[in-house]
Structure 1
Amino acid sequence: MIDISGGESSPLNGRGWLIGVGLALVAGVVILGGIQKIASMTSRLVPVMAVLYFLATSAIVLVNYQQIPKAIELIVVGGLTGEGVKGGLIGVAIIGIQRALFSNVAGVGSAGLAHSVAKNNRPAEEGFVAAWEPFIDSVIVCTLTAFAIIVTGQYQNEGADGIILTTNAFSTVHAAFPVILSVCIVLFGFSTVLSYSFYGRQAAGFLFKGNRFACRMYDVVYLLMIVVGAAVSLETVTRFSDSVFFIVVVPNLLGIYLLSGKLKEEVQGYRRLVDSGECEVVPEHERSTLLGKKKVEVSPRSTIR
């Protein structure tokens, strides 16, 4: 936001807390409105953000299509040969895991809080839907970002953070492209703020046995932390996030290991139902809606074939 509004001469330079206040005010309207408001808002923001970003990065890659073979070569050499791990295998693995968790939080377990409120007859149904999330985020979106940075030569700009590298890559196509990127970043940040508010609120509700006052106090503290997060450096935020993610990953992976038998049983049982055509469709009155539109009517006892 500071970079796109003038950099060092920006009125926001050195006043990141102002961005935090603005974000907290808008987020507060949604968060204090409850889970329905959060779900409604994020269901609109995320598709718009993803499509907009996909089109923009695709345009950058197409404009620089002659550099695509070189980009693929650099990615392969950097990731699959000794050149990519000369700084230390363990160090590269740690940084890679940190960035992967920060990117899509796969393995942290927080996504289960969101998927748990979906209407499905079998847990495996929602599990297969959830599996698309890290694929879209890391394999598609992040790969496009990497291609955009490499084909424009911005990867040689050592010392710049990811946002600056991506902004510079976008600016090589058209002066309006950094604005598009900024819109995507704001939408991404806002949707993330909303989803994590729900995760934390669910945890607070469990700890305080659904006490409404305690949950409301959590909302207030959460909104205040948005301002704090905007005021401190990006490095401080990422280091704190990495530490907290590690703490959460340990019990989550332990739980997955201990429940692996049940997980295997559920997945295999669901596959057998699908293969035999006996998988029941969720009754129409229990279904959620997409962008406020009713889904096609299907008999409650219909089967998928």
Structure 2
Amino acid sequence: MWGLPLIVLLVGGGLFLLVYSRALPYRHFAHGFAILTGRYDNHSDQGTLSHFQALTTALSGTLGLGNIAGVALAITAGGPGAVFWMWLTAIVGIATKFFTATAAVMYRGYDSQGTLQGGPMYVIREGLGKHWLPLALFFAFAGLCGTQPVFQINQLVAMLRGSVAYPLELATEQSHFGFDLTVGIISALLVLSVISGSLSRVGKVTARLVPAMVVGYMLMTLGILATHLSEIPAAFGLIFHDAFTGQAVAGGALGTVIQVGVSRGAFSNEAGIGTESMAHGAAKTNEPVREGLVAMTGPVIDTLIVCTCTALVILITGVWQSTEADGVALTANAFSTTYGNWGPLLLTVMVIFLSLSTILTFWYYGSKCLGFLIGAQHQHHYVWVYCLLIVAGSVGSISVIFNFLIGMYAAMAIPTMLSALILAPRIMRAARVYFSAFDSQR
């Protein structure tokens, strides 16, 4: 799925949008952050979430284990150079997010129950016309499969197993099924208690959890980086060198580095994938461009800042070469080199909240995709299926789970990027009108 055609569509498409817009969104970051303060909120506008809640809901789907375990998996599979290609997806992803989120509000549509919804499937139906409906259905199906909670709960269980169960002798490496299953059931009940309150409750929870967890995680990583300041330049040098040589990958395959970096970057920031557009499409605003400006801050926060810190911690501590661990366990080993036994415990707290917030957001994405496929009047049944998936993911295989989800992310990118590229002229016309009015008011 992540072959050259898709990489060209995702990265090349984002680069085209950057050039086509003449970097217009890149010049208005200050305005984007000003919108997040609530200065431009209008409670009479259509939508469900405030601009800030829409961003935190979208970020809760990206600032989870994709930034902790996903980076570790990228370095394990593609070497340090994969981080460079993750950065590239974020840089062009700023333009992609601006266009896809603007379209998500501009082309909102009504579901079968008459509720206003956003997301690539509605963008395609409302913006491109009903003859494009098969492409919308394709996205909804891939979105339903790709937003399962199995990866997040699997890595949460792995983290709890290593930092809590083994030290307290609640499980062993040979016998941990009972512990894993118990954690899965408890997590499912916690998630059920939140998602029973629909999107508005999810938005309120993520608006509190995400900022606190990001600050806490950044403080932990900065603590490690502060003790290894002299090694940071060498880590950056390794990333840039390996990005174009692939020497850290078996066989020196440069194509593998690019493929892994782009796919993990997309898993991290979701730019061009389309899932985050469902959250931004629920923003309470009648100005589509305004939500596009909010959305484009996402890749900066989750990939250029948080993922970079995770990658540097893994590289400067050397755990990527000294251990066979992968995923969240590799990141935990990196933290333990500086914080000792407290490292994995502190990271466990972060993982609990970040993974649960992601699981909450993925429920919303999946239910909306299912509602588009079979009718919104039936999507409430997904709650019970979703909780069962949480339990199943707690005892599943990480390699099978992660490869399946990455494949579905690739599938989602096809309709999302195609619709964004086709609708780009209309979005740019709306952007010019908006910025012309904004500049005249200053």
The interval holding the TM-score normalised by the smaller chain is 0.7 to 0.9
Alpha carbons of 1:153 and 1:10: their partners in 2 closer, same or farther (altered >3 Å)?
farther
Q: Deviations over 1:97-152 (max 9, x none)?
A: 22112212221111111111212231111111111111111110010011111221
Selected match of 1:113 from 278, 283, 286 = 278
Alpha carbons of 1:45 and 1:3: their partners in 2 closer, same or farther (altered >3 Å)?
same
Given that residues 246 and 257 in structure 2 are in contact (C-alpha distance below 8 angstroms), is that contact kept between their aligned partners in structure 1?
Answer: no
Alpha carbons of 1:152 and 1:230: their partners in 2 closer, same or farther (altered >3 Å)?
same
Kindly indicate whether residue 353 of structure 2 is the aligned counterpart of residue 190 of structure 1: no
Higher percent of residues as helix: 2
| Letter in structure 2 aligned against 1:201 | S
Given that residues 77 and 84 in structure 1 are in contact (C-alpha distance below 8 angstroms), is that contact kept between their aligned partners in structure 2?
Answer: no
Give the structure 1 partner of residue 58 of structure 2.
none
| Letter in structure 1 aligned against 2:374 | F
Gaps of 5+ in 2: 1-159
Gaps of 5+ in 1: 278-304
Kindly indicate whether residue 174 of structure 2 is the aligned counterpart of residue 11 of structure 1: no
Alpha carbons of 1:208 and 1:6: their partners in 2 closer, same or farther (altered >3 Å)?
closer
**3-state SS in 1 of match to 2:164:** coil
| Letter in structure 1 aligned against 2:177 | G
Given that residues 246 and 253 in structure 2 are in contact (C-alpha distance below 8 angstroms), is that contact kept between their aligned partners in structure 1?
Answer: no
Give the structure 2 partner of residue 207 of structure 1.
373
Given that residues 273 and 416 in structure 2 are in contact (C-alpha distance below 8 angstroms), is that contact kept between their aligned partners in structure 1?
Answer: yes
Kindly indicate whether residue 402 of structure 2 is the aligned counterpart of residue 238 of structure 1: yes
Question: Higher RCO, 1 or 2 (CA under 8 Å, sep at least 6)?
Answer: 2
| Letter in structure 2 aligned against 1:243 | G
Instruction: Measure the CA separation in 2 of the matches of 1:79 and 1:177.
Output: 29
Aligned pairs (5 A) from 1:1-305: 1-7=160-166, 9-11=169-171, 13-15=176-178, 16-81=180-245, 83=247, 87-174=252-339, 175-211=341-377, 214-277=378-441, 305=442
Q: Deviations over 1:63-105 (max 9, x none)?
A: 1222222222222222244646763233222222221122122
Give the structure 1 partner of residue 122 of structure 2.
none
Instruction: Measure the CA separation in 2 of the matches of 1:64 and 1:179.
Output: 21
Percentage of identical aligned residues: 35
Q: Deviations over 1:9-31 (max 9, x none)?
A: 54372342222111111000001
Structure 1 runs of 4+ aligned residues shifted over 4 Å read: none
Given that residues 235 and 312 in structure 2 are in contact (C-alpha distance below 8 angstroms), is that contact kept between their aligned partners in structure 1?
Answer: yes
Instruction: Measure the CA separation in 2 of the matches of 1:159 and 1:153.
Output: 12
**3-state SS in 2 of match to 1:120:** coil
Q: Deviations over 1:16-55 (max 9, x none)?
A: 2222111111000001111111111111111111010000
Given that residues 269 and 303 in structure 2 are in contact (C-alpha distance below 8 angstroms), is that contact kept between their aligned partners in structure 1?
Answer: yes
Asked which structure has the greater CA Rg, the reply is 1
> Please, what TM-score do these two structures have when normalized by structure 2?
0.59
Given that residues 157 and 165 in structure 1 are in contact (C-alpha distance below 8 angstroms), is that contact kept between their aligned partners in structure 2?
Answer: no
> Please, what TM-score do these two structures have when normalized by structure 1?
0.84
Given that residues 191 and 356 in structure 2 are in contact (C-alpha distance below 8 angstroms), is that contact kept between their aligned partners in structure 1?
Answer: yes
Instruction: Measure the CA separation in 2 of the matches of 1:46 and 1:144.
Output: 17
Instruction: Measure the CA separation in 2 of the matches of 1:144 and 1:167.
Output: 14
Instruction: Measure the CA separation in 2 of the matches of 1:182 and 1:48.
Output: 15
Instruction: Measure the CA separation in 2 of the matches of 1:6 and 1:17.
Output: 13
